[in-house]
């Protein structure tokens, strides 16, 4: 089974958590793209979606799913999104697709975060995947210096601008022993918009696509 087949398995399995008549929070990435395809098959049974990126919005609208502005929706029952890594306590690294800030915002208004991943994304300790950080462009070098003081090796993601017009630093070799504490520390660096640690608001439910079948951790 390929990695993409595992992603598809997880993406389609997430339909289980789609509430009829509801507005669904939709993340970003290749696993979520499978979920959006699945959502298209029940589009007449939902009211619409709140999207975490321009890319997901385009895909949702192409399937005829109405996309609501996040400012017009106070609360969502469920948010469905992928991750780059997830640990046993359901803390995640996200942002491989540079959509972390909007993902964190939509996750924040959602009662339940359903994380959809393929079997390669589960880890005991976060940090092998470089931690993405969205940074205001003028703060790139200053934030890089601060990240080095924290033991990380930041690498500027060349040629990438986020949907919010900012840049991404991917931080290698970061020791993530306390994800919540590090998430807060990174957010306190002036110029950091968001970091890719989702620990204060981790996942509630995890769906893992594997060659042996779909696992649901509820």
**Which residues are known catalytic residues?**
103
Give the H/E segment covering residue 100: helix 100-108
The radius of gyration of the chain from alpha carbons, rounded to an integer in Å, stands at 17
Give the H/E segment covering residue 180: helix 179-187
What b/e string do you get for 91-116 counting C-beta neighbours within 10 Å, with b at 16 or more? Answer: bbbbbbbbbbbbbbebbeebebbbbb
Residues 108 to 147 in contact with ligand 5RP, rule: CB under 6 A: none
Q: If binding is defined by CB under 6 A, does position 10 make contact with ligand 5RP?
A: no
Instruction: Find the angle CA(144)-CA(104)-CA(133) to the nearest 5 degrees.
Output: 10
Applying CB under 6 A, among 23, 25, 29, 147 the residue interacting with ligand 5RP is 29
What b/e string do you get for 15-35 counting C-beta neighbours within 10 Å, with b at 16 or more? Answer: eebbeeeebbbbbbbebbbbb
Q: If binding is defined by CB under 6 A, does position 27 make contact with ligand 5RP?
A: yes
Give the residue among 19, 86, 22 at the shortest CA–CA distance from 49.
22
- Measured from the CB atom, is 96 or 154 closer to ligand 5RP? 96
Binding mask 82-111 for ligand 5RP (x = CB under 6 A): xxx---------xxxxxxx--x--------
Q: Binding site annotation covers 38?
A: no
Applying CB under 6 A, among 17, 26, 31, 179 the residue interacting with ligand 5RP is 31
Q: Binding site annotation covers 82?
A: yes
81 three-class SS: strand
- Measured from the CB atom, is 7 or 139 closer to ligand 5RP? 7
To ligand 5RP, the closest distance from the beta carbon of 115 in angstroms equals 9
Give the residue among 217, 38, 3 at the shortest CA–CA distance from 114.
217
- Measured from the CB atom, is 5 or 141 closer to ligand 5RP? 5
Residues 53 to 82 in contact with ligand 5RP, rule: CB under 6 A: 81-82
Q: If binding is defined by CB under 6 A, does position 30 make contact with ligand 5RP?
A: yes
Q: Binding site annotation covers 51?
A: no
Applying CB under 6 A, among 8, 9, 28, 106 the residue interacting with ligand 5RP is 28
Residue 118's alpha-carbon distances to 40, 100, 112, 215, in angstroms, are: 21, 19, 20, 10
> Residues at the annotated binding site?
28-31, 81-84, 94-97, 121
Residues binding ligand 5RP (CB under 6 A) = 7, 27-31, 81-84, 94-100, 103
């Amino acid at each position: 089974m390929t990695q993409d087949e595992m992603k598809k398995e997880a993406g389609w399995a997430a339909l289980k958590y789609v509430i009829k008549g509801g507005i669904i929070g939709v993340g970003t990435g290749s696993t979520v793209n499978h979920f959006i395809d699945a959502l298209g098959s029940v589009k007449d049974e939902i009211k619409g979606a709140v999207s975490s990126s321009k890319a997901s919005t385009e895909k949702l609208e192409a399937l005829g799913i109405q996309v609501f502005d996040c400012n017009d929706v106070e609360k969502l029952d469920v948010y469905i999104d992928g991750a780059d890594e997830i640990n046993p306590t359901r803390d995640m690294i996200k942002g491989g697709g540079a959509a972390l800030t909007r993902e964190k915002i939509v996750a924040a208004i959602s009662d339940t975060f359903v994380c959809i991943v393929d079997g390669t994304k589960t880890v005991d300790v976060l940090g092998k995947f470089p931690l993405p950080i969205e940074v205001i462009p003028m703060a790139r070098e200053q934030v890089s210096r601060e990240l080095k003081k924290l033991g990380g090796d930041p690498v500027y993601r060349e040629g990438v601008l986020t949907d919010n017009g900012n840049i991404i630093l991917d931080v290698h070799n970061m020791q993530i022993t306390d994800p919540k504490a590090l998430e807060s520390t990174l957010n306190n660096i002036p110029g950091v918009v968001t970091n890719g640690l989702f620990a204060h608001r981790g996942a509630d439910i995890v769906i893992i696509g594997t060659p042996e079948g779909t696992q649901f951790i509820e």
